[in-house]
Amino acid sequence: MSIRKVASALGTSRGTIQRLVEQEGIERQTSQKLSPEQREEAFRLLDEGKSLRQVARQFGVNPESLRRLVMRHKPS
């Protein structure tokens, strides 16, 4: 269940649930839509000047999800 759904069910904020998850060391389950190879390809396409929207469309993911992935994982 997502943090958002847990917060809604308990009548509290997402921030509160997020803090509890972190404090308790609970590992969050994530759904990786892109394989490591696809991520590398997406980063390469972005470096070549393609837009987030174009790359997201190519891989069938949401542009905002791709933006967050890039912010978290793109090599420096």
- The DSSP 8-state label assigned to residue 31 in this structure reads -
- pLDDT tens for 2-18 read 788 899 999 999 999 99
pLDDT for the residue 33:
78
pLDDT for the residue 74:
64
pLDDT for the residue 51:
96
Domain ranges (residues) in the chain: 1-30, 36-73
Dist. CA 7–CA 38, nearest whole Å: 32
